[in-house]
Structure 1
Amino acid sequence: MHPYQDPTRPVAERVEDLLSRMTLEEKAGQLFHSMLMMNPDGTPVTETDGSMLPFTTPELIEGRGLTHFNLLGTHGAREMALWHNAIQEMAAATRLGIPVSLSTDPRHAFTDNIGASFNSGAFSAWPEALGLAAVRDPELVFRFADTVRREYLSVGFRTALHPQIDLATEPRWSRQSGTFGSDAALTGELVRAYVLGLQGEELGPDSVAAMVKHFPGGGPQKDGEDPHFAHGKEQVYPGGLRDLHLEPFKAAIAAGCSQMMPYYGQPVGTDWEEVGFGFNRGVIQGLLREELGFTGIVCTDWGLLNDSEIFGEPHGARAWGVEHLSVAERAAKALDAGADQFGGEECPEVIVELVRSGRVAESRVDASVRRLLHEKFVLGLFDERRYVDPDEAAETVGRADFAALGAAAQRRSLTVLTAGPLPVGNRPKLYVENVDPVTAAAYGEVVATPAEADLAVLRLRTPYEERPNKFESFFHSGSLAFPEPELTRILALLDTTPTLVCVNLERPAVLPEIAEHAAALIADYGASDEALLDVAFGRAKPEGRLPFELPRSMAAVEASRPDVPNDTADPVFPYGHGLEL
């Protein structure tokens, strides 16, 4: 037994022993946090056509020495556990047997975006983070994060690529559903509870490491466009509130978050260098490391170095401000900025060449590898936590008490904007759209036309503009107003039959006409039909308050300042609005 394999030795000693035994190539492999897919039966992917991922699992683990992976797709719990154990066995058979660290985007809500999150599938279903913010209860957020921790541990996820604690200050920005809304103080309270729920008081074998994102706050995107794409790369601060966006990250650091992800955005018009945050030494080394005192792992957002294909369509590297640099020069700049790891990349040969050419010192690589190995040891991955029990995973994921907690949170998060006839009594004749009629039949007699109904129930989603690029179509951007002829059709229904409208707020919808004509208006942030109808019929108590304001017009949105919370003129509903029933 080598010292690094001895669980009785101090972690620091084990790290130094292992580091001393690693080749440069093995060290370089640690600096990449790539993506994997799995077969439906829980076996690793050993063949690929390159349309989604360029390498097979054995090529990455055995051939390139990678040991950090983000799992794509929604799968069964037992199958995920079997797959996790299979790739751990693959890693154990390598020269040094360094275990795999498995991460995931959020998996406990209703959004499904391959670039940001997955729907709950087998896991317990909760409202999006916006819905947790609407309840304003740190204890609820702690219970949520603790449930996530237990379900993740059972299948082998040891790093959560969340929480996302950007402030939702630009109403058009597509990533707001994963945030805690527009208030910095509330976000700080909730992120403390979130980190403690995932990690505990300190990181250990029963923890899931929290990779907090997107430093230094991704909300102030110019025109609300997403910086996954070149037309959305600029981040601006016309209101001068750059420091406000840092407040939640200070709270996360104080709570002990173990990892941090800088955003794609390129700051414009500030004293920071106008390069993406993952390349920005003033932001990572200067602000995050030196000023704020963060000592954990810094992992870049995905795909900063190499051009790629997604769904068969070409996508350039998100190398904003350094597009002119080579892949090696970009990697060197990110390392110089203070990044430890490259998300969504798998090119360790680039690091090897940078060291051998003298452009990057091996001691600089060692500093990052030391942090990465330290976390693996602390999480117990070299010891008792290397493998998971598939039977226990099947029993734990989606467990009845976890599901009940999530269902209760859905009901609490619903936000009553106008109450009208709520709560509904008796068993009315119901006309429903975008609601399961079988579910609705438990609350009233479902009829075929609005004219027959005593009450209509209509579920809507916040509007967005279709984009031609398939990957970008997952990121709902652009106008927040209901377009014609959809708005006319909706208003015709509202004027025909008293209608309860429920709008899913993944972004702040512009809905003044709907608010005026609806008999009652409710906002949801991810909730089942049962949750909505339980609230409407007085069987559950809604507690939600708007986590951002709802603008009156797109003109008001366009005139607002992207870095300033709740900055639109004369909103239909202000921040914090919500009625009791």
Structure 2
Amino acid sequence: MTTHPYRDPDRPVDERVEDLLSRMTLEEKAGQLFHTMLAMGPGGTLAEKGGFLRYDTTELIAGRHLTHFNLIGQGGAREMAQWANRVQELAAGTRLGIPVTLSTDPRHAFTDNPGASFLAGDFSAWPEPLGLAAIGDPALVERFADTVRREYLAVGFRVALHPQIDLATEPRWSRQSGTFGSSAEVAAELVRAYVRGLQGPELGPGSVAAMVKHFPGGGAQKDGEDPHFPYGKEQVYPGGMREHHLAPFVAAIEAGCSQMMPYYGQPVGTDWEEVGFGFNKDVLTGLLRERLGFDGIICTDWGLLTDAEILGEPAEARAWGVEHLSVAERAAKALDAGTDQFGGEQCPEVIVELVRSGRIAEERIDASVRRLLREKFVLGLFENRYVDPDRAEETVGAAEFTALGEAAQRRSLTVLADRGVLPVTGRPRLYVQGVSEGVAAEYGEVVADPAEADLAVLRLRTPYEQRPGAFESFFHAGSLAFPAEELKEILRLLDAVPTLVCVNLERPAVLPEIAERAAALLADFGASDAAVLDVTFGRAKAEGRLPFELPRSMEAVAAGLPDVPNDTEDPVFPYGHGLGAPTA
């Protein structure tokens, strides 16, 4: 039996790409230009349509020729591996047998947002990227990303929809927990380590491809609102810091990142066209391709072309600045801008019609398909598309990885204030809020009344304003200050008993009164109760330094410039603050 050249692993990659491309129909090419969501059925079975799935898995792969999928939802390691194999088996049975590339949002920390990241579940649990930035150790970040790589490979993920290297310059912005904080220099250094950990020295069969986001930097959002939603679409640079936000992306490109995701935002008040970055030729071709020399895959953020339904509610396409265009016109504009692939979309018929109508040349489609096919060959997917469910169970959440993550949680904890409390000794009577009583009982005697306690331990989260939509509710935006009644209750406890307060900083909380009256104040960026108490009792050392400043008031936040890092007046704690904590 004659083997087509594209199936021969001994031939050069470029030759294999050209051979496969020459055999593809227009419909099969069009399918490559979509990277959409896919769910997993019970027990690792293939998902049927329903919920957010417009088509079932078989229709997407065999009927619509898609081969790039972002897994939504969680599952056990074995069932994820079995599901990945079923998806690949279905793809292997198609006319050309093009393997599927599976991707995922982050799965190794504590944030649970279906539009951004998932709880660790079976995977090893680490601090959020903000916590890695608080430690500031590139070697640790590379070890983290290598752990992610090994756990992802075990279940079949070959593209990481991360790292997120936007700068956290607008304190109200909801996506800061996934960043490396407000420093361009730190973000640049850590993204180099992150890409090395995921991809290795160069992209190959042992790599997970890094899709770095959100180009050209999504932190400079007007009023800190998020461009997932129409009221947050404006990205502005009143402080003239546009180049500053590019620095981490320059570093990512130098490190060899394979893919880049432009953000939803619509630049306002610049010399760029005022359209979302996925449609923006000034940014994708002029800046990313021509000036910065990036020749990898450009995949848009999710849902730029078609209106959809998210969590049971209608959601308009995030076609900011081109809302008036038809779906086909939006797709054409994105392709003209330099986009290779549409995230979260599944309408290849639109591309077919654009080519057949003469609006887009087939050669333009071929240019993007080449990039997409090349990555599949380089990753070794044509030779090794299946994974071993037994090995997946052994690898995901392995003791070595879990221990590394737990140690990083403790290192990332940041001591903001200590009035002679740390380290706590002996077995004091503890009153706890926001802490598991079962865990606390391993460190002291848990009491039900603060009046009976020697020490209270209180865990808080950064305040936010609840938004009305089901999907919107996952994006914590708005005020960073504790509501008056909640603050009154917190201060009542702090005045009643010496209290160690630990605040989870997914954004920079406004907490001057708490800082003034807490016996000790810690910040965490994703840490277990045991990690917090180990640091409290001197069993582990906190090494964190704030990856952004903590403002004194919301007035100071509103007066700041969204593109300028750490510019609020008289912050309670400045960028880089951290006392460390003595061990017992």
Equivalence for 2:388: 389
How far 1:374 sits from its partner (Å)? Answer: 0.1
Residue identity matched to 1:386: R
Q: Indicate if the aligned counterparts of 1:40 and 1:75 stay in contact, CA closer than 8 A.
A: no
How far 1:580 sits from its partner (Å)? Answer: 2.0
Q: Indicate if the aligned counterparts of 1:235 and 1:267 stay in contact, CA closer than 8 A.
A: yes
CA distances 1:291-313 after superposition (whole Å, capped 9, x unpaired): 00000000000000000011111
Secondary structure (helix, strand or coil) at the match of 1:500 reads: strand
CA distances 1:404-450 after superposition (whole Å, capped 9, x unpaired): 00000000000000012111001100000010001001100000110
2:528 paired with 1:507: no
Equivalence for 1:548: 548
Equivalence for 2:304: 304
Q: Indicate if the aligned counterparts of 1:502 and 1:521 stay in contact, CA closer than 8 A.
A: yes
CA distances 1:106-134 after superposition (whole Å, capped 9, x unpaired): 00000000000001000000000000000
Equivalence for 2:40: 38
How far 1:39 sits from its partner (Å)? Answer: 1.6
2:267 paired with 1:267: yes
CA distances 1:426-484 after superposition (whole Å, capped 9, x unpaired): 11000000100010011000001100100000000000000111100000000000002
Structure 1 segments of 4+ aligned residues over 6 angstroms from their partners: none
- Aligned runs of 1:425-436 on 2, under 5 Å? 425-436=425-436
CA distances 1:182-236 after superposition (whole Å, capped 9, x unpaired): 0000100000000000000100000000000000000000000010000000000
- Aligned runs of 1:137-536 on 2, under 5 Å? 137-383=137-383, 385-420=384-419, 421-536=421-536
Secondary structure (helix, strand or coil) at the match of 2:42 reads: coil
**Rounded Cα–Cα distance in structure 2 between residues aligned with 1:364 and 1:118:** 36
Secondary structure (helix, strand or coil) at the match of 1:75 reads: coil
2:23 paired with 1:21: yes
Secondary structure (helix, strand or coil) at the match of 1:54 reads: coil
How far 1:261 sits from its partner (Å)? Answer: 0.2
Alignment identity in percent?
78
Residue identity matched to 2:457: V
**Rounded Cα–Cα distance in structure 2 between residues aligned with 1:550 and 1:252:** 28
Residue identity matched to 1:29: G
**Rounded Cα–Cα distance in structure 1 between residues aligned with 2:397 and 2:372:** 31
CA distances 1:506-550 after superposition (whole Å, capped 9, x unpaired): 000000011011110000000000000000000000000000000
Q: Indicate if the aligned counterparts of 1:305 and 1:319 stay in contact, CA closer than 8 A.
A: yes
Secondary structure (helix, strand or coil) at the match of 2:523 reads: strand
Residue identity matched to 1:537: F
**Rounded Cα–Cα distance in structure 2 between residues aligned with 1:576 and 1:84:** 42
CA distances 1:358-397 after superposition (whole Å, capped 9, x unpaired): 00000000000000000000000000x2100000000000
**Rounded Cα–Cα distance in structure 2 between residues aligned with 1:362 and 1:268:** 33
Residue identity matched to 1:391: D
Residue identity matched to 2:399: A
Residue identity matched to 1:511: L
CA distances 1:85-143 after superposition (whole Å, capped 9, x unpaired): 00000000000000000000000000000000001000000000000000010000000
**Rounded Cα–Cα distance in structure 2 between residues aligned with 1:419 and 1:204:** 48
Residue identity matched to 2:378: V
**Rounded Cα–Cα distance in structure 1 between residues aligned with 2:316 and 2:136:** 39
2:3 paired with 1:5: no
Structure 2 residues not aligned, in runs of 5+: none
How far 1:54 sits from its partner (Å)? Answer: 1.2
How far 1:40 sits from its partner (Å)? Answer: 2.9
How far 1:59 sits from its partner (Å)? Answer: 1.1
**Rounded Cα–Cα distance in structure 2 between residues aligned with 1:121 and 1:349:** 37
**Rounded Cα–Cα distance in structure 2 between residues aligned with 1:130 and 1:209:** 22
Secondary structure (helix, strand or coil) at the match of 1:485 reads: helix
Residue identity matched to 2:349: E
Residue identity matched to 1:227: P
**Rounded Cα–Cα distance in structure 2 between residues aligned with 1:4 and 1:115:** 36
**Rounded Cα–Cα distance in structure 1 between residues aligned with 2:507 and 2:99:** 39
Equivalence for 1:91: 91
Secondary structure (helix, strand or coil) at the match of 1:210 reads: strand
- Aligned runs of 1:53-132 on 2, under 5 Å? 53-132=53-132
Q: Indicate if the aligned counterparts of 1:215 and 1:261 stay in contact, CA closer than 8 A.
A: yes
**Rounded Cα–Cα distance in structure 2 between residues aligned with 1:413 and 1:474:** 24
Give me the TM-score of the superposition, normalised by structure 2.
0.99
